[in-house]
């Protein structure tokens, strides 16, 4: 196992009725900016619960943060934070609202020339404005990690950011919010969290026996709960399992001491930036071709995954590894997710070259666990995903 240092300071309040505890989690005398998305919280009762819990506080609101949170819109919220002397941010939403809030937490205290530098120059945030979250959509793990991904529509760019100053102070995870989530977003949450585990697992062995078992158990749990939660999002037990699995998939725990990949995400972000395809779906498009073209480096782990997660017992190591790739694609498809780029856009020709050129221009010479996925290889991966 590799060396590591691990600290996750986010307090989790999990279960029914936890939203009312907001009042004790936010410091007295805070002036709060309540951030939310396109309005789902006003239809499903979450907004009312939050407002009730915060009745003793001074609150300003900022709604309208879109899926794939947009820089231009967030700059408007930044103005509100400064004009209103806000001291605490509260994100009520899915990954997009939480990520947007992380950007604001960083940008408020940023002393550089323009907040865009935080993204384009990948400046790590050591200290941000304090914030908490009320999660409404299990998927990204953003509620318990310190990363965010922000989009700039005018330039069709989507960049990651983060740093130890961007962990939420607390996150409220009430599985009852799941019942109002549309099927498409539930499927996205299952596929995104599944891929988060894969990105931290499908590399090479460093004898991280416990980390491997953690990862495999999350994958198995997601596979097990998927049909139940898709069938009935109001099934509380399934919702609780789904929600906690998504959080555990990307709160840092399973990546300690082991190599991670993240090439699928880095390529997937470009597909969202170019075509607006849902984040999780871009991952389902890229996974099979990435694993196929990096087969030699990943085959031991792929075979272990096939054996332990999918119970593939027959065949050679290579055959099992290939079966693991196929099982993954079939799993995405079982969620109702299409796995080829051409199923999302007719405009796909040339995408591989565009993405490879972007990587080159940014100096991303080699991504993946070995740094071997060059822009040229990225081009092949995307082309194979058409
Ligand atoms: O905007 P509203 O009206 O709230 O509707 C949202 C949105 O349309 C809706 N929704 C959320 N909770 C709901 C609900 N509808 C009904 N009932 C509820 N309880 O769902 C839609 C999608 O929401 P969004 O927040 O965009 O989804 P998700 O949580 O999948 O977040 C995706 C974003 O997170 C980034 C992605 O790139 C993407 O921008 N990621 C963030 C990561 C991180 N911070 O660690 C890691 C991920 O890999 C990912 O890149
Ligand atoms: Zn993701």
What is the per-residue pLDDT for 64?
98
Query: Rounded to whole angstroms, how far apart are CA atoms 63 and 289?
Result: 38
Residue 338 pLDDT grade (very low, low, confident, very high; cuts 50, 70, 90): very high
Three-state secondary structure call for residue 112: coil
Which tens digit of pLDDT belongs to each residue from 126-161? 999 999 999 999 999 999 999 999 999 999 999 999
Distance, CA of 190 to CA of 241 (rounded, Å): 11
Residues 71, 25 share a domain: yes
- Are residue 200 and residue 245 in the same domain, yes or no? yes
How would residue 267 be classed by pLDDT, with cut points 50, 70 and 90? very high
Contact between 68 and 279 (Cβ < 8 Å) = yes
CATH number at residue 110: 3.40.50.1970
Q: What is the mean pLDDT of residues 76-102?
A: 98
**Which CATH number goes with the domain that contains 201?**
1.20.1090.10
Nearest residue (by CA) to ligand 1, atom 43, is 142
Domain boundary among 136, 158, 177: 177
In this prediction, residue 266 has a pLDDT band, given cuts at 50, 70 and 90, of: very high
Q: Are residues 351 and 221 in the same domain?
A: yes
Q: For residue 115, tell me if it sits in a domain.
A: yes
Last residue of a domain, one of 118, 142, 177: 177
65 and 188 assigned to the same domain:
no
Q: What is the pLDDT of residue 228?
A: 98
Ligand with minimal distance to 233 CA: 1
Average pLDDT, the chain: 97
Residue 4 lies in a domain: no
Q: Which atom of ligand 1 is nearest to the CA of 102?
A: 44
- 339 and 237 belong to one structural domain: yes
Is 244 among the domain residues? yes
Q: Left if phi > 0, otherwise alpha if psi is -120 to 50, otherwise beta: which for 25?
A: alpha
Three-state secondary-structure class, residue 3: coil
From ligand 2's centre to the CA of 53, what distance in Å? 31
Nearest protein Cα to ligand 1, atom 29: 95
pLDDT, residue 16, reads 97
Is the CB of residue 153 less than 8 Å from the CB of residue 70?
yes
For 112, what's the count of Cα atoms within 13 Å in the CB-facing half-sphere?
14
| Residue bearing the CA closest to ligand 1, atom 3 | 38
For ligand 1, atom 14, which residue shows the shortest CA distance? Answer: 181
In this prediction, residues 99-123 reach a mean pLDDT of 96
pLDDT in tens, 347-377: 999 999 999 999 999 999 999 999 999 999 9
CB of residue 188 inside a 6 A radius of ligand 1: yes
For residue 341, the enclosing domain spans 182-384
The 8-class DSSP code of residue 140 comes to S
Task: Enumerate residues with CB within 5 Å of ligand 2 (an ion).
Answer: 192
Asked if residue 6 is part of any domain, the answer here is: no
Share above pLDDT 70 across residues of the chain, in percent, rounded to a whole number: 100
- Which residue in 279, 251, 298, 289 sits closest to 337, CA to CA? 279
- Asked whether residue 19 is assigned to any structural domain, the reply reads yes
Angle between helices 183-199 and 279-293 (to 10 degrees): 40
The total of structural domains in the chain comes to 2
What is the gyration radius of the CA atoms in the chain, in angstroms? Answer: 20
């Amino acid at each position: 196992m590799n060396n590591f240092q691990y600290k996750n300071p986010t307090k989790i309040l999990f279960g029914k009725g936890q939203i009312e505890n907001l009042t004790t989690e936010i410091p007295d005398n805070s002036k709060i900016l309540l951030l939310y998305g396109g309005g789902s919280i006003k239809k499903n009762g979450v907004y009312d619960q939050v407002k009730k819990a915060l009745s003793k506080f001074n609150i300003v609101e900022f709604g309208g943060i879109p899926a794939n949170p947009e820089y231009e819109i967030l700059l408007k919220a930044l103005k509100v934070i400064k004009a209103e002397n806000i001291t605490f941010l509260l994100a009520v939403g899915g990954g997009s609202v939480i990520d947007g809030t992380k950007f604001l937490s960083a940008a408020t205290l940023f002393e550089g020339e323009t907040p865009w530098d935080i993204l384009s120059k990948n400046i790590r945030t050591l200290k941000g404005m304090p914030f908490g979250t009320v999660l409404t959509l299990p998927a990204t793990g953003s509620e318990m990690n310190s990363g965010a991904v922000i989009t700039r529509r005018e330039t069709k760019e989507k960049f990651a950011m983060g740093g130890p100053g961007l962990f939420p102070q607390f996150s409220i995870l009430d599985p009852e919010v799941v019942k109002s989530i549309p099927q498409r977003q539930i499927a996205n949450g299952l596929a995104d969290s599944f891929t988060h585990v894969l990105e931290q697992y499908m590399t090479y062995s460093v004898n991280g026996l416990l980390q491997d078992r953690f990862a495999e158990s999350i994958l198995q749990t997601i596979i097990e709960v998927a049909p139940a939660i898709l069938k009935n999002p109001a099934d509380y037990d399934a919702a609780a399992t789904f929600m906690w699995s998504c959080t555990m998939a990307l709160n840092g725990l399973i990546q300690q001491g082991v190599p991670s990949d993240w090439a699928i995400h880095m390529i997937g972000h470009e597909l969202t930036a170019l075509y607006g395809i849902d984040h999780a779906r871009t991952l389902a498009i890229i996974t099979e071709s990435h694993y196929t073209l990096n087969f030699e480096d990943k085959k031991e782990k792929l075979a272990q995954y096939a054996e332990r997660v999918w119970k593939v017992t027959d065949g050679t190591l290579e055959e099992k590894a290939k079966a693991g790739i196929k099982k993954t694609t079939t799993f995405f498809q079982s969620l109702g997710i299409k796995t080829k780029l051409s199923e999302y856009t007719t405009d796909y020709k040339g995408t591989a070259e565009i993405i490879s050129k972007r990587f080159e221009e940014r100096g991303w010479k080699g991504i993946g666990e070995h740094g071997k996925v060059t822009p040229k290889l990225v081009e092949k991966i995307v082309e194979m995903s058409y």
